[in-house]
Structure 1
Amino acid sequence: MKHHAARRERLCGQMPAGAVAILATAPEVQRNADSDYPYRHDSYFYYLTGFAEPESVVVLVAAQGARPARSILFCRQKNAEREIWDGFRHGPEAAREAFGFDEAFAIDDIDSELPKLLANAPALYCPLAHSAAFDARIKGWMDKVRSQSRSGVTAPASVHDLLALLDEMRLFKDDHEQALMQRAADISGRAHERAMRATRPGMFEYEIEAELLHEFRRSGAQSPAYPSIVASGAHACVLHYNANNAQMRDGDLVLIDAGCELDSYASDITRTWPVNGRFSEPQKQLYELVLAAQAAALAAIVPGRRYSAIHDAALKVLAQGMLDFGLLDKSSFGNVDDVIAQRAFAQFYMHGTGHWLGLDVHDAGAYRNVTLEDRPSRILQPGMALTVEPGIYVRPAPGVPEQFWNIGIRIEDDVVVTPGGHHILSGTAPKLVADIEKAMQHG
């Protein structure tokens, strides 16, 4: 748990002396009747604690004078009867020792203990407007402290958004996090290759989804990082399609956007391949275009360049291809810059070229430097992890060459910025046309 303890220490170092931070994990959510959805802890909470049980709160107190910083966990008591039904619970004392906290209390004691911790603290850090229910509990604790004002006790004079500090911390992945993300990407890469080998005309999309899920679990991943997209034919032109219930037809492409979550860290890979194992010429033309756009985007991932350079590089390649293949009428535009300025590309490419990746598949962290007046795109730095996912989606429309209708292609990889450039975590998933067709021949 040294990585989590180091994060708590680093967070305390960013707060004023004696300030208090409070963060709760996610609640359990009822699915129906007496059945809950599979529990998944809050990512911010896990980042600081490594603790995955529900009904938990962490409190950090920044160092003040001779008093060192303190980390305190509130969690469920041991309960032998409930453990028969629901499984193991650490309980406060075992959790304190196992997860490296200075103190631990039963969650039932939080209403009596929190006002003591807030008393005379100069500032409070908590998630602002994140949960109405927890906001109300914080107000209750603050009111108890204010009720002691005649005794000289003061409540925190200022309240700050804790998540703003944690967003910046989470944006940079340490070696431990990068190793977990590499393992997750390796598993997901194998799952995509397994799905390629299994694909045949006449199968249903959900059969291929089952291949992905099989590989995730057999390799130790706890769950998908998000609902898998298995989109064949025209469905590939629906960006967040996840019905996954259509029959795959000979001659169509299938776009799969799927990644596992391993030890709370996400992977996110997209590959597109022909259902019958061979790209047609129009499919190959557009596929190679998207592949070239991704190569241009990857080349832009260098420390010191702006995040926006990634999208700009991909967009220029895609826009030129749209002109070259007749998706856009050359007579209407002077050059690629005109296509971009008029946003004509948005008919076929309407999303960004990536996002941060980590504990969440769309991970925490600002994409712009909000401290500057013009809010420029932020500078890439080593340790940042992101996806690179250009695509092209051709719906039937007047003036659009019919041979490209209903072709949807996206190629997505997971990447970490390094001191010398970048490292692709998901490189094991076949991506070149020849490699995809070879993998499908040996299914």
Structure 2
Amino acid sequence: VLSVSFVTFTVLLSTGSVWCPCRNISVKPGGLKPKTVPPRYLGQPSPYSHPHLIKHGEVTPGLSQTEYELRRHRLASLIEAQADRLGPSASSGTHVVIVLSHPTRYMTNDIPYPFHQNQDFLYLSGILEPDSALVLHGRGRPDQAILFVPRRDPGRELWDGPRSGKDGAAALTGIERVHCTEELGVVLKSLKGTLVWYDSSQPAHPRLHQTHVSPMLEVGPMPRSLRPLIHSLRALKSSAEVALMQEAGHITAQAFRRTMALSQGDIDEAVLFAKFDFENRIHGANFLAYPPVVAGGNRANTLHYINNNQIIKDGEMVLLDGGCEYFGYVSDITRTWPVNGKFSPAQAELYEAVLEVQRSCLSLCSPGVSLDHIYSTMLALLGRQLRRLGILMASTTDADAARRYCPHHVGHYLGMDVHDTPELSRSQPLQPGMAITIEPGLYISKDNDQAPKHFRGLGIRIEDDVVIRDKGGPLILSSDAPKTITDVEKACAQR
């Protein structure tokens, strides 16, 4: 896994330049000449069709043409630095970077699944259409962008809706050179890169790979993996990205509050699922970020329970792990509460134990501390709580027992995806701008005859979304979701 010192940047509003302090240079966004967005729907929101969502100069809500171009410049800088270490021929050679969109996927015949873009492609281009591609190229530094989008086709648009076309994509993104996707192979052949940066082992778009990219790879150099470089950039959120994640966290936190208020004793998991989904969407989310866990009673001890189709009985708790996607950025929050609105003594005792550990782990979320270090701390703290609660046997070590009762990590990276930037190691020191989850839990199966009887069948997890900051402690994106016993019971009592 590549460890990168992330670039901080300041937009110089007076000049339109972007200062990169790591290289002490000003980057003048060359492709960002103002263009009028065509007065038609482009296949994705634009300032013309969605002025309530997108401001002039933005590509997607909250993210400007300048920010997208800066991302491409930062990727070019990383590739340039990599090439310098490979020797003179690499550093002075021509680089070709290829990033493909996702295709449309079908559930049956011609019925498509809802389209979800390849996050790496979206991160660099802002284009939401399938069957697209981005190519960066240049000698020594690949900072010249070429965008490929589907050709406008009235016959297909009749069925599938409008497409941006070359003019729409150029105006929306600020990228000067835009081609139809059918020209991808011809353009790639003409570039003849000395070094190709492309992830060929699992192509994002198999058909585009086979038709346009594979012929180039057969006669050219072995491609170098691009994903670790993009993930190292995606791991650090800009202020605009943090604002989008704050809104995602706020929407989901309010959905938890309103879903808790629906709890009144016996209730179907499917009803809570529907309520949670509805509250996220009606308050601005595009859709849920992943299939949520709505697990009543002992089912909370199945970590990825997503059937959500059984009755939660009065007196049982429900564990709801859910989040939304808000214009490309997601939330991931877990809360556990009694469906009758009142914690029993055993439920409260176990809940407070998990909450105390979670608070301690949150306090460790600062620059220089790794997720793996927080995980080790979580295991030690959970072990002490298990011993205090009388759940541990005398011969068992705290950490070993904690792994048994909490078999998952303390958290993961968060951003454009739920388990974001998987190329980054959790042993890497956290840096300001990184977003993570903190989610300790205790899971005691009803069949566990070694645990005290009053704890059996209880599963509790408490998860918050966190942005690492230089000063002032971590920013808790999910702070509006009720978490203390008092606040949870108060939320459940709202009608």
Among 434, 437, 440, the residue aligned to 2:492? 440
Query: Could you tell me which residue of structure 1 aligns to residue 417 of structure 2?
Result: 360
- Tell me which amino acid in the other structure corresponds to 1:298: L
The Cα shift of 1:102 comes to 2.6
Paired residues of 1:293 and 1:315 also in contact (CA < 8 A): no
Paired residues of 1:216 and 1:224 also in contact (CA < 8 A): yes
Paired residues of 2:413 and 2:437 also in contact (CA < 8 A): yes
Q: Does 1:61 align with 2:137?
A: yes
1:22-61 to 2 correspondences below 5 Å: 22-61=98-137
The Cα shift of 1:365 comes to 4.6
Once the two structures are overlaid, the 10-residue window that deviates more, 56-65 or 37-46, is 56-65
CA distance in 2, matches of 1:320, 1:37: 47
Among 75, 80, 84, the residue aligned to 2:158? 84
1:195-206 to 2 correspondences below 5 Å: 195-206=259-270
Where in structure 1 do 4 or more consecutive aligned residues deviate above 4 Å?
Answer: 132-135
Among 172, 175, 180, the residue aligned to 1:98? 172
- Tell me which amino acid in the other structure corresponds to 2:410: T
Among 420, 429, 433, the residue aligned to 2:481? 429
Q: Does 1:314 align with 2:378?
A: yes
1:178-217 to 2 correspondences below 5 Å: 178-217=242-281
Q: TM-score w.r.t. structure 1 length?
A: 0.90
Query: Could you tell me which residue of structure 2 aligns to residue 140 of structure 1?
Result: 215
Paired residues of 1:172 and 1:384 also in contact (CA < 8 A): yes
CA distance in 2, matches of 1:75, 1:320: 57
CA distance in 2, matches of 1:203, 1:107: 50
**Per the alignment, in what secondary structure is the counterpart of residue 159 of structure 1?**
coil
Q: Does 1:349 align with 2:406?
A: yes
**Per the alignment, in what secondary structure is the counterpart of residue 79 of structure 2?**
coil
1:29-428 to 2 correspondences below 5 Å: 29-64=105-140, 69-117=143-191, 119=192, 121-131=193-203, 135-136=209-210, 137-143=212-218, 146=219, 155=220, 157-329=221-393, 331-333=394-396, 338-340=397-399, 343-368=400-425, 377-395=427-445, 396-420=447-471, 421-428=473-480
CA distance in 1, matches of 2:363, 2:468: 11
Give per-residue Cα distances to partners, 1:64-102, cap 9 Å, x unaligned.
Answer: 59xx83101111111233223212210012201211213
The Cα shift of 1:259 comes to 0.4
CA distance in 1, matches of 2:156, 2:200: 33
The Cα shift of 1:134 comes to 5.3
Paired residues of 1:300 and 1:309 also in contact (CA < 8 A): no
- Tell me which amino acid in the other structure corresponds to 1:339: D
Q: How many residues align?
A: 414
The Cα shift of 1:344 comes to 2.4
CA distance in 1, matches of 2:223, 2:111: 37
Q: TM-score w.r.t. structure 2 length?
A: 0.81
The Cα shift of 1:111 comes to 2.2
Structure 1 unmatched runs, 5+:
147-154, 370-376
**Per the alignment, in what secondary structure is the counterpart of residue 160 of structure 1?**
coil
Paired residues of 1:199 and 1:440 also in contact (CA < 8 A): yes
CA distance in 2, matches of 1:339, 1:134: 52
**Per the alignment, in what secondary structure is the counterpart of residue 85 of structure 1?**
helix
The Cα shift of 1:440 comes to 1.0
CA distance in 1, matches of 2:423, 2:105: 28
- Tell me which amino acid in the other structure corresponds to 2:197: Y
The Cα shift of 1:366 comes to 4.3
The Cα shift of 1:398 comes to 2.1
CA distance in 2, matches of 1:62, 1:283: 61
Paired residues of 2:217 and 2:223 also in contact (CA < 8 A): no
Question: RMSD over aligned Cα, in angstroms?
Answer: 1.7
Paired residues of 2:157 and 2:163 also in contact (CA < 8 A): yes
CA distance in 2, matches of 1:367, 1:35: 36
Paired residues of 2:261 and 2:493 also in contact (CA < 8 A): yes
